[in-house]
Structure 1
Amino acid sequence: MLKRLSTFLAATAVWLCAGSVQAQNATPIPTGYNDYPTEARADYVFACMVTNGQTREMLTRCSCSIDVIATILPYEDYLSAETVLSMRQTAGEKVAIFRHAHFTNTVVADLRRAQAEAEIRCF
């Protein structure tokens, strides 16, 4: 137990040092990267973990995934795509536009591309 604790502390120290070096040499965060509300990020991570397993590793990978998506897709577009996908799950003629309109297909395709890039980088 003591050995595991010391290993953990050493790893944490290395991580903190690396983080401070990265912070000094970090590239600027893209504009719009932080425009995703915390609730939206948390919802994505929770859903991702339910799908992929509720482990610490999946928490890290799912968090990485939404961060990558946020660098690619502005929040307004993400929200539009999530709305379209939600409406597509509703039955009836009134929501047919969400299934067949060119705009809705484009918005969803943009989200799918961002998710594919996130999967390549994080999983």
Structure 2
Amino acid sequence: MNELEFKRRTKQMGLRVIRLVEALPHSGTTDVIGKQLLRSATSIGANYRSACRGKSLADVVAKLSIVEEEADESLYWIELLIESELVSADKLKSLMLEVNEIIAMTVASIKTLRAKAHNSQSKI
């Protein structure tokens, strides 16, 4: 997957979360969880875009690490919605799969970049 496709994918995931949060029934609990999920999920795409403009390999890795953390946090809020029985697991299954795939690709990119950094340092 190239940079442009991953940008599109993270933005689409953010849009899905926006629609999910807008559809949640209003209560104190769903308002708090919804805001947290909205913040973390939309941060994924924003931080990926920032990583694409990283000034160094270390900067890119640091920003991709934020992408990983925000995606994992998003999963946490989705799990809370499911386990508190506010939203059925069936309705969120494909969203959880998408977030897990984004995490997996981000972790793979981080590992590749760290290996690249290590290899370039060992040649010095």
Structure ID, larger Rg: 1
| TM-score calculated relative to the size of structure 1 | 0.33
* TM-score calculated relative to the size of structure 2: 0.33
